[in-house]
Structures are given as structure tokens and as C-alpha cells.
Amino acid sequence: MIDERSSSSDPQPETPTVRKGWGRFSIIWLVPLVALIVGGWLLWRDIVSKGPEITVTFESAEGLTAGKTAVRYRDVDVGQVTEINLAQDLGHVQLTIRMNANFKEYLTDRSQFWVVRPRVSARGISGLETIVSGAYIEVSPNNSGARVNTFVGEEEPQFIPSEEDGTRFVLNASEVGSLGEGTPVLLRGIEVGEVLETELKESADGVSIPIFVRKPFDTLVKRETRFWDSSGIALDLNAQGFSVRAQSVRSVLAGGINFYTPDGHEDEDMAEADTVFRLHESLEKAELLTEGHSQQFILYFDSSVRGLSRGAPVEFNGIRVGTVDSVDLEYVVNQRSFRVPVEVTLEPERVQLVGGRLGDVDPTETIETLVDNGLRARLKTGSFITGQLFVDLSMQPVSPARYLGNGQGNIPELPTLPQKLDEIANSLTSLLEKVETFPLEEIGIRLLGTVEGMENIVTSPALNDGMVSLQQAAAGISSLVTNLDASVLPATQTALDAAREALGGVRDVTSATSPVRYNLEQALKELSATARSLRELTEFLEQNPNALILGKSGPQENE
């Protein structure tokens, strides 16, 4: 019973309160939740903000360091090198670069990368700032190509021109010579642009040289503009002799390209971008007319043309009027002889016309008229130092026209004359031929006989006797001269003294104070008065002849 009372008196346990929803969530869990959210957001922002990862290949990693070397554009960091590894072939290095996200759209197959470090090149000294800051990678972005993530870096700094800064043109040449990237483009010695690159043509028959001309000088490039290579110091041995040419110091060291526009084309429109021009070897060749009126002729010579080469000048009275195009050798079968055809191009525009225009003159008729009046061509030596020849045109109306061709070619022929040296050689040959016709043997025999006769005369006894007589006569003459000195000369001296005394007396008589001279002058005055009186008497008798009978009447008295 006790157990039942005790058990009935124990209190009943309370029913626990159950909290539903956020009531059971502790505030302490907000800390890791917020940290998780912030971490996720930071992770998402890092993933989103990270730019693309690219690979750039270079020959070497000189001056580059992973985690430090920056990629820059216009001195602004746009990426960083994260890894540097060797390629599998060990021939180059591969750089892994993390670029900025906002630079993604500019990474195309036209973008370029190169390492900036201290360099001395045709463009001058560059990259000096990297001596302190270290080398970095420069990028040239381009968003016009296809998206890629693998690039091949350039080993030399690239010059990327902008259309807003100038105009790009292309030059064609047979060889590149000393030209290269960064070679200056000059105008009257002032640098106005530079060479972008040099590349071989697809046909391998020449080179293509893109150039960039800065504003405002690009407006001076016309369709008729001529470019020539003015690289270094040009030593030229030609028909004009020995010449030396040089431009600026930079062009001497790194080469140079000059250009000019011929007279009459300065007001034309500017040439369009990427216009192709010919790069001439020198200013002289650039000045040759590439367009306009020109005439081709052929000349034939039968003597040596050593020293005459392609490009030699054709001159008229010392003025260049054309150029030699080719020099060949032909064998004429029917004549069994050789001849040298020389093709030339004459440029009538080099001759100023007076009283007309070039279009009003028929070139063919003009040449025929000049040939009829004596136009002839001959080779002359331009320089005795170089031995170079040139074609000289001159008027020689006395010399007959000499044509060595058959007249069946497509190019008209001009008559030629032999060289002066050939004429001298021909004259000497003719003289020797005439000398060979002389009867030298007969003349020698007669001369020998004459010499023998003279020898007989000299050795004859009569000549010896005559010489003895001559010596005796000479001795007599010598004795006579001695006698003259002893007797005749003293007497002659005495006579000369007497003559001197007589001349002294005459001098005394004729002196101004001599009485004899005074009396003589008085006598001459009296004689003059007498002559005057006789002249008056004669005139009176001529007028009054009866005065010889009647006498001279006195003056008549007035009645």
C-alpha cells in the first residue's frame, strides 16, 4: 500500500516544447555562412577578372623572369609572364602569359609581341630605360584577325605605323643592298619616314620594301615620284669619271632612301596608300624618263667597245639625251665579220623645243632630217681613269653616213663613225703600208754607194794637198792681220783724232754764242729781205710791163 501511495503522489513529467523554423537556428552560424558567401564571391570575381592565358615563343629568355616580367602596351601593364619553359626541341623558349581580361578581344593572329631591351639599330638607340627597370614584353594589339592563344614573338622591335600618322608605300628593287628595317626615308636630306621591312617577292625575282612616310610629307609623294637608294657612301666609276656621294650620317651608317617629284608633277594628287614604286639604284638612273616620249635606235660598231656598258649615257654636245639599253655581239655569216649592235633609247623631252610643242613634231621625220644634215654617232672615252665609254651624237655633215646593219630590223638604225683612236690606227696602218712599198733596198744600195764615194773623196791625196794649202793660206792671213795691228791701226787712230778735232771746230762755229753763227744768221736775214724785194719787183713788172720803158710813175696829183 505504501508503494502505491508513494507512486501515486509523484508528479507527472511536463511535455517538452518543440520550436519549429528559425527558432532552433543559432546566430553563431552566420559567421561561417557570410565567410562562405564572401569567399565564393571573391573566387567568382577572380575567375571572371582573370584574362586569357596565352603562349608566346621566343628564341631566348634573356632578361625575362617568371612572375616579374610585365607585358605592356603604351607603357601600361596589360599582362604578366607566369611561366618560362623550354620547348620540346630545346630550340626556343615558351612563355606562359596571363593577360588582362579587357585585353582579350585584341589577341588575334595579327597581334605582335617582342622583347624590349637596350638595342642599337638602324632606328637609333632604344630601350635604355630597361637598364634600370629590366626587360619587358611589348605587344601590338589588333582586333581584326582571328582569335588565337599561341603566338611567335618577334626578335626585333616592330614599328607599327598608324594611318593617322602617315601613309604606307611599297618599293620594288632587284636587291635589298644595305637597306633594312628602320632605314630612313629622306627628302632633301631631311628624314621623313622609314623602311618597315624587307621581304623577297614570291617570284624571287626581286625584293619588296614597304616604307612609311609621315605626315605632312606623305602628300609630296605623287604617282610620278622617283625613289633611289642613297645608302652609305657611293663610289661610282662611270663614263663621267670618279664620283663620291653621301647623304646624312645615319644614311651612311644604316643606308637611306631618297625621293623627289619631277618638274611639272608637283600639283598632281597624292599617291594612294600601298602604291608600288620602283627603287632606282642611283639619282642618275632615277632621273631617266620612265614614261613619256622615247625612241629606240640601234647602232652598229665594228671595233672594240670595251668600257661601254648598259646604262652608259648618250650625249649630244655634252648634254645627256638618252641611255644605252644593251650591248651585244653578232657574227655576219655572209660577210664573215663581227659587229657590235648597241641599242639606245633617246629621250626627246630632254631637248627644249623653241617655237613648237613636242606633239607637233614627228620624231621619225625629225631624225631623218638630222641624219641627212650630218647626225652621226661614235664612241668616246668619258674618263681616261676608268676607261668607260659613252655614245656621242654630233653633227658631222662632211662625214658620209655609215650603216653596218642590213636595215631589216624593227628598230631604226643611226649611222656611226669609227672612234678617233681607230682613225689614228687606220692612218698609221696606211702610212706603214706606204712605207712598205718604198724601194728601201735600192735606196740602201744607193746610199751605201754615196757613202763610199764620200769616203774616197775624204781619203784622196788631192784633199790632203788642199788641206795643206789651206793651212798655209790661213798662216798668211794671220801674218797680215798682225801687220795691220802694228802699222795700219795706229794711222787709223791718228786720222780719227784729227776728225774729232775738226768736229770740235764745227761745234764751236755752230754754237749759240758763236760770232760766225750770228753773222750767218744776219746774212740769211738780208738774203731773205732781198728775196722779198725781188718778189715784189716781179709782181709789179707783171702788172706794169711798160715800166721797163717808161719807168715807174710817181703818185698822180689831183687836178
Domain boundaries, the chain: 47-152, 166-286, 295-418, 422-459
Query: How high is the pLDDT of residue 558?
Result: 45
Q: Tell me, what's the pLDDT at 492? A: 76
Separation of alpha carbons 322 and 269, rounded Å: 29
If you search the block for the grid coordinates 644614311, which residue do you land on? 251
Cell of 513: 754764242
Length of the chain: 559
Count other Cβ atoms within 10 Å, centred on residue 149: 13
Mean pLDDT value of segment 498-510: 74
Using the predicted structure, report yes or no on whether residue 494 has a pLDDT greater than 70: yes
Strand partners, 389: 381
CB 419 within 8 A of CB 379: yes
Which range scores top for mean pLDDT: 104-118, 254-268, 349-363? Answer: 104-118
More confident residue, 434 or 182: 182
Give the closest residue to 187 by CA, choosing from 149, 160, 225.
225
For the segment 99-106, the average pLDDT, to the nearest whole number, is 86
Judge whether 200 and 215 are in contact, CB under 8 Å: no
Which residue has cell 639604284?
Answer: 281
pLDDT above 60 (res 501): yes
pLDDT at 555 over 60: no
Q: What is the pLDDT of residues 318-371, one digit of tens each?
A: 888 888 888 998 888 888 888 889 998 887 767 776 766 655 667 677 778 888
> Which of the four pLDDT bands, split at 50, 70 and 90, describes residue 232?
low
Report how far apart, in Å, the C-alpha atoms of 357 and of each of 23, 36, 162, 346, 363 are: 112, 94, 45, 17, 12
Residue 85, pLDDT score:
92
The Cα angle at residue 161 between residues 137 and 205, in degrees rounded to 5: 100
pLDDT of residue 14 exceeding 80, the answer is no
Question: What pLDDT does residue 559 have?
Answer: 40
Q: What is the pLDDT of residues 135-148, one digit of tens each?
A: 888 998 888 888 89
pLDDT digits (tens, 9 = 90+) for 269-286: 899 988 999 888 877 777
Omega before residue 13 within 30° of 0, cis: no
pLDDT of residue 259: 92
Look at residue 169 in the predicted model and tell me its pLDDT: 93
Q: Which residues contact 123 (CB under 8 A, 6 or more apart)?
A: 157, 159, 181, 182, 194
Q: What's the rounded mean pLDDT across residues 207-236?
A: 84
Instruction: Report pLDDT for 448.
Output: 80
Report whether pLDDT(34) > 90: no
Q: 225 and 259 in contact (C-beta within 8 Å)? A: yes
Of residues 420 and 83, the one with the higher pLDDT is 83
Q: What is the pLDDT of residues 424-436, one digit of tens each?
A: 555 566 666 666 6
Stretch 536-546: mean pLDDT:
78
Please compute the mean of the pLDDT values over residues 457-461 and round it to a whole number: 75
> pLDDT band at residue 57, thresholds of 50, 70 and 90?
very high
Does 294 or 70 have the greater pLDDT score? 70
Is the separation of the CB atoms in 311 and 322 below 8 Å? no
- When pLDDT is averaged across residues 79-98 and rounded to a whole number, the result is 90
Share of the chain above pLDDT 70, in %: 76
- What pLDDT is recorded for position 144? 83
pLDDT over 60 at 22, yes or no: no
Roughly how many angstroms between the first and final C-alpha of the chain, as a whole number?
251
More confident residue, 312 or 464: 312
Flag the least confident range among 100-104, 141-145, 465-469: 465-469
pLDDT at 438 (0 to 100): 66
Contact 396, 253 (CB under 8 A): no
85 within 8 A of 69, measured Cβ to Cβ: no
